[in-house]
Amino acid sequence: MQPLQALGISADAERVYLDLVSGSPSAELEHAATTMAVAELEAAGLIERSGDTLVACPPQLAMEALAERYAALARQSAAMLTRIWNKASETYLEVLPSYSAGRAVLDRVQTDAQSQVRAISVGNLGPDGHKIVDGLFDALARGVSYQVVYGTRVLHDPEALRMVQRCVDAGEQARVFPHVSMNLTIVDERWALLTARSDEDIAAVVVHRSPLLTGFVGIFDAYWRMAVPITAGTETVPDGDTPSRDTQRLLTYLSAGLTDEAIAREFGVSERTVARRISRLQEILGAQTRFQLGVQASRHGWL
């Protein structure tokens, strides 16, 4: 088992930490000290600097903080999937033969929905590019509630984000969450459409009212509670884009453990302004906590 990788730490960062813990840092470790691996470990609270030396920190508190984000979702998902495994029957399932058939069912959602649509969206899986599903604005206009969790990659795609914001302006409630790997649409808790992609193959399944559908509703609710709202002012985060000097400075102070009061003094602004800037960065990077903000910033090369 890779104990740190299991909690989202990269393989390079895990190797650096274990080398430090063992007390036998290699030549590669000295090189790695200039890479993102060290920044990632510092953001996670697993190492600190003593002069020019890297020192491993006790893992208990840092790992508990890292695990907190995943623990509730993992427990709920495990319980739900266990119930699904034990009780689900193929009679509840309707396997669709093609992507086009799945797209036709997705378009039908808007006319069939009576009060509520809940969805998890990684984006369009087929070859037709960006597209808002047919009838969505009409459904919103007649009072159907939409709650959608998007994968954070929507923040990296200006056109996709513009389309999401059009939906938000029309009344959709939208949030983002990392590592979304499937499209799930639940209609009034009566039926759901699940689509997923592997290499060049796309699978689409309609799930009718059953314990399996109840499990999917619970999974959506868990993601919704963990996700970060998308607002009308959410900005894109182009891959490789360089943040401003003030943003880098703010992230550095956060990773060093400075309080809002201390950061405000350094910038010559109010604590409220600092808190607002931090909240904005969390929204842009899809981070729910300041700890996660540091990790995400490291992975984007912003630290």
Lowest mean pLDDT across 92-101, 124-133, 220-229, 245-254: 124-133
Helices in 113-227 by DSSP H: which ranges? 136-141, 158-169, 211-226
Q: What residues form DSSP beta bridges with 193?
A: 185, 206
Cβ–Cβ under 8 Å, residues 195 and 203 = yes
Clarify whether residues 150 and 282 are in a common domain: no
Clarify whether residues 220 and 98 are in a common domain: yes
Is residue 131 domain-resident? Answer: yes
CA dihedral for 72, 73, 74, 76, sign (positive or negative): positive
- In Å, what is the CA distance from 295 to each residue of 78, 240, 241, 302? 25, 16, 17, 10
Longest dimension (CA), the chain: 66
Q: What is the pLDDT of residues 164-183, one digit of tens each?
A: 888 998 999 988 777 788 89
Clarify whether residues 246 and 223 are in a common domain: no
Clarify whether residues 101 and 169 are in a common domain: yes
Clarify whether residues 119 and 218 are in a common domain: yes
Clarify whether residues 141 and 223 are in a common domain: yes
Percent of the chain with pLDDT over 90: 17
Give the residue, 143 or 49, on which the prediction is more confident: 143
Read off the pTM.
Answer: 0.52
Is the per-residue pLDDT at 185 higher than 90? yes
Residue owning tokens 């808007």: 110
CATH number of the domain that residue 136 is part of: 3.30.870.10
Give the residue, 222 or 294, on which the prediction is more confident: 222
Domain interval for residue 36: 1-71
Name which of 293, 301, 300 is nearest 43 in CA terms. 293
pLDDT for residue 14? 82
Clarify whether residues 206 and 297 are in a common domain: no
Q: How far is CA 298 from the centre of its chain?
A: 15
Is the per-residue pLDDT at 87 higher than 70? no
Clarify whether residues 218 and 252 are in a common domain: no
Counted domains in the chain: 3
Q: Cα separation of 128 and 103, whole Å?
A: 11
Is the per-residue pLDDT at 88 higher than 60? no
Is residue 59 domain-resident? Answer: yes
Name which of 174, 209, 301, 176 is nearest 248 in CA terms. 301
Is residue 30 domain-resident? Answer: yes
Clarify whether residues 102 and 224 are in a common domain: yes
Clarify whether residues 108 and 196 are in a common domain: yes
pLDDT for residue 237? 55
- Which of 178, 199, 229 marks a domain boundary? 229
Most confident of 16-25, 248-257, 280-289: 280-289
pLDDT for residue 32? 47
Is residue 117 domain-resident? Answer: yes
Confidence of residue 124 (pLDDT cuts 50, 70, 90): low
Is residue 81 domain-resident? Answer: no
| Mean pLDDT within 251-259 | 75
Provide the 8-state DSSP code for 234: P
CA atoms within 13 A on the CB side of 139: 24
- Which of 203, 229, 255 marks a domain boundary? 229
Percent of the chain with pLDDT over 70: 80
Please name the amino acid found at residue 9: I
Is residue 80 domain-resident? Answer: no
Burial class (CB in 10 A: 0-12, 13-18, 19+), 81: middle
Helix (H, G, I), strand (E, B) or coil at 94: strand
H/E element holding 196?
strand 191-198
Is residue 101 domain-resident? Answer: yes
Clarify whether residues 20 and 46 are in a common domain: yes
Clarify whether residues 223 and 105 are in a common domain: yes
Name which of 71, 181, 161 is nearest 120 in CA terms. 181
pLDDT for residue 27? 46
CATH number of the domain that residue 269 is part of: 1.10.10.10
Is residue 82 domain-resident? Answer: no
